Chain A
Amino acid sequence: GENVEQHPSTLSVQEGDSAVIKCTYSDSASNYFPWYKQELGKGPQLIIDIRSNVGEKKDQRIAVTLNKTAKHFSLHITETQPEDSAVYFCAASSPNTGFQKLVFGTGTRLLVSP
């Protein structure tokens, strides 16, 4: 089955710096890659997603890139702000099971210092 690895597990940056989180996946049939942000004590919230027919997607300060050949995708946050501090999860979805099963990475704790 699908396996998703995520790095780093912890990332500390200064306010205004960029942050990059990387994920790799194993199932070449995976075709949907969402990123979720989880604040302390809350459920994850989708912040951006990308389909396998697209190489890059951007939404204001957040961008995601996908390299299907290498089977990895990355989240880029520019001009980081203290409110970006949270745990970020990547996920991959394969339709092989007949429904959209999400397999999650282990999460990256991002700390943005003022």
Chain B
Amino acid sequence: DGGITQSPKYLFRKEGQNVTLSCEQNLNHDAMYWYRQDPGQGLRLIYYSQIVNDFQKGDIAEGYSVSREKKESFPLTVTSAQKNPTAFYLCASSTQSGTSYNEQFFGPGTRLTVL
């Protein structure tokens, strides 16, 4: 079964702690993305990666970090520097885009709550 998996589904964190969200895909996609979703808002891009060992900041990268050591994995770390980390986090992937149109496939999401 091809797809994107995210774990855990729910995550609770104390203030001041870093936490890492997992994203794995077996679609053989080159590009991967992390979005944040808040109630009443659209999805906002945190980071994206077009190829292994390369990634770029999106619109709201402050307080987040990523790595892309393997094609199928794109973990997101929410650091203590992120002031409002409570949100629903979505990972997506697509074939390498360049300037062409490619559907982004989304994972089921991780709901992070800071206590």
- A residues with a Cβ closer than 8 A to B are 4, 6, 9, 31-32, 34, 36, 41-46, 49, 51, 89, 91, 93, 95, 98-107
B71-105 vs A, Cβ < 8 Å mask (1 yes, 0 no): 00000000000000000001010100111111111
Interface residues on B, range: 20 to 34
Given contacts A43-B90, A99-B97, A34 and B43 within 8 Å (CB-CB): no
Contact A32 B40, beta carbon cutoff 8 Å: no
Contact indicator A101/B31 (Cβ below 8 Å): no
Q: B42 at the A/B interface (Cβ < 8 Å)?
A: yes
**In the complex, chain B residues whose CB is within 8 Å of the CB of A49:** 101, 103
Tell me, rounded to whole Å, the shortest Cβ–Cβ distance linking A57 to chain B.
13
Residues of B within 8 A of A (CB): 4, 31, 40-45, 48, 50, 58, 90, 92, 94, 97-109
B96 to chain A: closest residue by CB? A99
- Bound CA span A98–B48, Å: 12
With CB as the reference atom, state the residue of chain B lying closest to A9: B40
Chain A contact residues: over half helix, strand or loop, or mixed? strand
**Smallest Cβ distance from B23 to chain A, in angstroms?**
11
Contact B101 A44 (CB under 8 A): no
Sample of 11 more A-B contacts, CB < 8 Å, known A34-B103, A43-B109, A89-B42: A43-B4, A43-B107, A44-B43, A45-B106, A51-B101, A95-B98, A98-B98, A99-B50, A102-B45, A105-B42, A107-B40
Q: List chain A residues, Cβ under 8 A from B104.
A: 34, 46, 102
Expressed in whole angstroms, the minimum distance between the Cβ of B52 and any Cβ of chain A is: 15
Please determine whether A100 and B97 come into contact, CB atoms closer than 8 angstroms: yes
The chain B residue with its CB closest to the CB of A99 is: B97
Tell which of A41, A95, A98, A104 touches B42, judged by Cβ atoms closer than 8 Å.
A104
Instruction: Sample 24 A-B pairs with CB under 8 A, ordered by A number.
Output: A9-B40, A31-B101, A32-B101, A34-B104, A36-B106, A41-B109, A43-B4, A43-B106, A43-B109, A44-B106, A46-B103, A46-B104, A95-B99, A98-B99, A99-B31, A99-B99, A100-B97, A100-B98, A100-B99, A102-B43, A102-B45, A106-B40, A106-B42, A107-B40
